[in-house]
């Protein structure tokens, strides 16, 4: 079962595409948009993350840190980030495989991947927005923007 608004967001410490560890605890004090996606280089995921890249100022101008998490290894994430010009950290939930996605309730055990879960964590570490889409179901990002506008107000 995925998280709901008001829940305490589970902590995580994951390596980014450069093998630098990023933890939710270190980001405390400002809102964080946590975007789980199935796989780097897949069609829908690439489209979603490129839209996020193109509209990144919507989030950063509101003081929101953006991180994207998949079960891909760091080496794939490094190549994906470079190819697509992504300007936010891509975090690897590769090992233990999908542990963070499991904690957020967005891990597909049968496929071994995260589903499309999006969580806006407020500055105190509580979920302010939660949305889960299944594989093949692209996300509409307007809900994220509305949640960011509310939290920034």
pLDDT value at residue 1? 72
> Which range has the worst mean pLDDT, 92-101, 120-129, 144-153?
144-153
Exposed/middle/buried for 53, CB within 10 Å: 0-12, 13-18, 19+?
A: middle
pLDDT value at residue 137? 85
Q: Indicate whether 28 pLDDT > 80.
A: yes
CA separation for the pair 98, 138 (Å, rounded): 20
How long a stretch of residues is the chain?
A: 153
CA separation for the pair 29, 38 (Å, rounded): 28
Exposed/middle/buried for 108, CB within 10 Å: 0-12, 13-18, 19+?
A: middle
| Mean pLDDT for the stretch of residues 117-122 | 96
Segments in the chain forming alpha helices (H): 24-27, 43-54, 56-60, 74-84, 99-103, 142-152
Please indicate whether residue 50 is annotated as part of the active site. no
| pLDDT band of 79, cuts 50, 70, 90 | very high
Report all structural domains of the chain as residue ranges with CATH numbers, in order of start. Answer: 31-152 (3.40.30.10)
| Mean pLDDT for the stretch of residues 115-144 | 92
H or E element at residue 92? strand 90-92
- The predicted model scores a pTM of 0.95
Q: Indicate whether 138 pLDDT > 90.
A: no
| Mean pLDDT for the stretch of residues 114-138 | 93
Structure tokens belonging to residue 64: 């929101």
| Mean pLDDT for the stretch of residues 37-45 | 94
**Catalytically annotated residue among 3, 22, 33, 45:** 45
Structure tokens belonging to residue 148: 């960011």
Greater confidence (136 vs 25) lies with 25
Cα dist from 35 to 101, 141, whole Å: 10, 11
Per residue in 85-96, pLDDT (tens digit) is 999 999 999 999
């Amino acid at each position: 079962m995925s998280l709901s608004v008001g829940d305490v967001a589970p902590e995580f410490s994951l390596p980014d595409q450069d093998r630098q560890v990023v933890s939710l605890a270190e980001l405390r004090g400002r809102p964080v948009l946590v975007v789980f996606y199935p796989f780097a280089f897949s069609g829908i995921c690439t489209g979603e993350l490129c839209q996020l890249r193109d509209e990144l100022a919507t989030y950063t101008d509101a003081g929101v840190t953006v991180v994207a998490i998949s079960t891909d290894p760091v080496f794939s994430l490094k190549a994906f980030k470079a190819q697509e010009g992504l300007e936010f950290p891509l975090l690897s939930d590769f090992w233990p495989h999908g542990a963070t996605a499991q904690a957020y309730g967005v891990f597909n055990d049968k496929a071994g991947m995260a589903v499309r879960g999006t969580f806006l964590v407020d500055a105190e570490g509580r979920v302010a927005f939660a949305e889960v889409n299944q594989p093949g179901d692209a996300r509409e990002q307007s809900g994220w923007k509305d949640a960011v506008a509310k939290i920034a107000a």
